[in-house]
């Protein structure tokens, strides 16, 4: 585990030296003001780097897709906290991505250890774990309900990418539409999900 954490720290230190694309700071500041078009542009600019970092830490494709979605929602929700005087936009976003990815790895490891302990002891599931499982199921149900508020095109793009693990080019091929159209659907779908889930900027 120590070697894994050192590797993760190395990944993050490498990201701090990456200045990111020109204009990312301006885009993030516009996102902080609720500019959806700026979010779309920022999404296109940073998605490759964000997913690459998350994938290297989490390893699992499906979980990486989920963490990536969480990061982009967090960027949209918390863009107002970004201070250009304290660092670059790309560093801020990648730091957030790394934190989310590490949290997911630790959560998965803790769940594995907990499951092993319960299996060995043969005890009844603790109350806190029951609450956690119920809460998770309720959240999943809420996300499924919110998916119904997306257009058919947005929903099928999100489902193919985030729940079936297809890459954007694969989604474009499956749906028979240009890659740019898929990215636009994903961006708009994330914004609608954000609104439905009650996440405020």
Structure confidence at residue 12 (pLDDT): 43
Maximum distance among all Cα pairs of the chain, rounded to whole angstroms? 57
Looking at every residue in the chain, the average pLDDT score rounds to 76
CA–CA gap between residue 58 and residue 174 (Å, rounded)? 26
CA–CA gap between residue 120 and residue 6 (Å, rounded)? 31
Q: What is the pLDDT of residues 49-61, one digit of tens each?
A: 999 999 999 988 9
How many Cβ atoms are within 10 Å of 143's Cβ, its own excluded?
15
How many Cβ atoms are within 10 Å of 24's Cβ, its own excluded?
21
Q: 115: pLDDT confidence band, cut at 50, 70 and 90?
A: low
Q: What is the pLDDT of residues 60-69, one digit of tens each?
A: 898 899 999 9
Q: How far is CA 15 from CA 24, 30, 153, in A?
A: 15, 23, 34
What are the structure tokens assigned to 131, written together? 């609450």
* More confident: 16 or 33: 33
Kindly report the pTM of this predicted structure.
0.51
Structure confidence at residue 5 (pLDDT): 44
20-29, 112-121, 191-200: range with highest mean pLDDT: 20-29
């Amino acid at each position: 585990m120590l070697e894994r954490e050192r590797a993760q720290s190395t990944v993050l230190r490498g990201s701090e030296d990456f200045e990111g694309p020109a204009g990312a700071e301006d885009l993030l500041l516009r996102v902080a003001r609720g500019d959806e078009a700026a979010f779309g542009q920022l999404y296109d600019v940073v998605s490759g780097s964000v997913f690459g970092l998350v994938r290297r830490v989490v390893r699992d494709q499906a979980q990486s897709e989920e963490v990536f979605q969480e990061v982009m929602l967090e960027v949209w929700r918390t863009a107002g906290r970004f201070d250009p005087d304290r660092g670059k936009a790309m560093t801020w976003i990648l730091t957030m991505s790394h934190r989310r990815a590490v949290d997911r790895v630790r959560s998965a490891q803790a769940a594995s250890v907990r499951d092993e302990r319960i299996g060995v002891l043969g005890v009844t599931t603790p109350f806190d774990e029951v609450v956690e499982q119920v809460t998770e199921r309720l959240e999943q149900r809420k996300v499924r309900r919110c998916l119904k508020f997306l257009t058919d095109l947005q929903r099928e793009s999100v489902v193919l990418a985030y729940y079936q693990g297809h890459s954007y080019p694969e989604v474009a091929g499956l749906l028979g539409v240009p890659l740019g159209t898929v990215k636009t659907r994903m961006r708009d779908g994330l914004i609608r999900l954000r609104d439905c889930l009650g996440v405020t900027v």
